[in-house]
Structure 1
Amino acid sequence: MRWTKTKKSIENLICEKLKKRLKINATKYNTSLGEQRRIWITLDNKEIFNASSAHFLHAHDKLWEEIRNKTSNPFPDCLYECFPELVGKVSDFDYSMEILEQRNIFNVDRVYEKLVEYSNLSTQVSQLNFKSETLVLLVPFKTKYIY
C-alpha cells in the first residue's frame, strides 16, 4: 500500500480533537550508504515517536557488540545467556528486534507494516480514544499488542 493512502487512512481514525495537532510523517533519504527511511509522529509539533532505518541499524550493531563483549558463546546460545528473560517468548531470529523494541528503537519497515495493518482495521476497533489528553496512539506499534 502506498504511504499516502496509509497515512490518510490512519489520519481518518484520529479523533477530531487531535486531527490538527497530531501529524504522521515519512520520508526517504538517498545517501551513499543507500536508501534510509524514517517515520515520525508529532503532537503539537513536538516529536513523540521516531523510527529511523539509520538509527535502528546503528543500535542493532551496538546490541551485537554488547552481546559479543558479554559472552563468547555462538548464536543463539549467546542470546540465551545475555537475555534469559526472552527464552521461549520469541524466536531466536526475533531476539534482537524484541530487545530493541523494548528500548524504544523500532525498525522502520516493521512500523510501516504495522501502520498498514492498523489502517486496515475497522473504524470501530481502531478509533483512537483519548482521555484527559492521555495519548494511547503508540500501542499499535508494539508488536505484541497488534498480533
Structure 2
Amino acid sequence: MRWTKRKQLIEAFICEPLNNRISINRIVYRKSHDQEARMTITFDNKEIFVADNIQYALKSFQLELEGVAQNFDTSIEERKKYFSCTMTKDEASHYNNKIALYEQMIKTATEEQGIYAVYYLEDFFDYYLLSIDDALKHKHELIRAFAMIDKRLGKRKFESLDMSNEHTLVQQFYEIRRKSMEEI
C-alpha cells in the first residue's frame, strides 16, 4: 500500500481537537545510496517525533565507538570462519544470536537517546490495523504514544491511565491530548 493511503488511514484516528494540528510526514531520499528515509510527526508545525535513518546510523556508530556493547566479543577467527561458511549449523546459530543481541543493545541505547530509525517503525505504519487496547499495550513507545491521541481512546479510559512509568514520548503525547481536552 502506498504511503499516502497509509497516512490517510493513520491520521483518520487522530481525535477531533487535534485533527488539523497533528501531521505525519515521511520523506524518502531517493537519490541517496540506500534511499534513506525520515519520518516526522508535527504538532502545530513543530516536530514532536523524528525518525531519521541517517541520524540513527551516525548515533549508533558513535555508540559503538564509545563501547556501549563492550561485552560483545567475537574473535577474528570466529568471523573468518563464519564468513567463509565453515561453521557448523550450531556454531553459526550461536554466532547469529550474538550478532542479534549486539544489534539489539545498540538499537536500545540509540532509542533511549530519542533517535529512531524509520525501518524499525513498520508496526506504526500498520497502526490502523490495531485495536486501541493493543495499541496501548504495544511494545513500541511510538505506538503507545500515538494511542494517546487516538479518537478511540475514550475520556474515562484516558483519565484513568497511569503515566508515571511510561516513556517520555508517551507522556508528551498524553500531555498534548490532555491540554487539547482542556481547551474545549
Q: Give TM-score, length-normalised by structure 2.
A: 0.55
Stretch moving more, 12-21 or 28-37: 28-37
Other-structure match for 1:42: 42
State the alpha-carbon separation in 2 of the partners of residues 3 and 110 from structure 1: 16
Mapped contact 1:24–1:40 kept (Cα < 8 A): yes
Q: 1:93 aligns with which of 94, 98, 103?
A: 103
Deviation at 1:71, TM superposition (A): 5.1
Is the Cα–Cα contact under 8 Å of residues 36 and 54 in structure 1 kept in the other structure?
Answer: yes
| Residue from 100, 109, 116 that aligns with 2:125 | 116
Deviation (angstroms), 1:98: 1.1
> Does the Cα contact within 8 Å between 1:39 and 1:108 map onto a contact in 2?
yes
Tell me: CA distance 1:22–1:65, structure 2 relative to 1, closer, same or farther (3 Å): same
1:32–1:47 distance in 2 versus 1, CA, 3 Å? closer
Residue pair 2:38, 2:53 contacting (<8 A) in 1 also: yes
Relative to its length, the structure with more strand (as a share) is 1
Distance 1:121 1:55, change over 3 A: same
Q: Does 1:6 align with 2:44?
A: no
> Is the alpha carbon distance of 1:47 and 1:92 closer, same or farther for their aligned partners in structure 2, counting shifts above 3 Å?
same
Equivalent residue number for residue 173 of structure 2: 135
Residues 1:23 and 1:122: Cα distance change in structure 2 (over 3 Å): same
In structure 2, the CA distance between the partners of 1:20 and 1:72, relative to structure 1 (3 Å rule), is: closer
Following superposition, the deviation at residue 114 of structure 1 comes to 2.2
Unaligned regions of 5+ residues in structure 1, if any?
76-89, 138-147
Shift of the 48–60 alpha-carbon distance from structure 1 to 2, 3 Å rule, reads same
Q: Distance in 1 between matches of 2:21 and 2:72?
A: 49
Q: Residue 123 of structure 1: CA displacement?
A: 6.1
> Aligned letter for 2:28?
K
Give the superposition deviation at 1:118. 1.7
1:117 Cα offset (Å): 3.2
**Which ranges in structure 2 are unaligned for 5 or more consecutive residues?**
75-99, 136-146, 160-171, 176-184
Equivalent position of 1:81 in the other structure: none
Tell me the residue number matched to 1:27.
Answer: 27
Residue 38 of structure 1 aligns to a residue in which SS? strand
CA RMSD of aligned residues (A): 3.2
Length-normalised TM-score, structure 1: 0.67
C-alpha contact 1:6 1:115 (8 A) present in aligned 2: no
Contact 1:22 1:43 in 2 (8 A): yes
Query: Shift of the alpha carbon at 1:36?
Result: 1.8
Structure with the bigger percentage of helix? 2
Mapped to 1, the partners of 2:102 and 2:50 lie a distance apart of 26
The residue that corresponds to 1:142 in the other structure is none
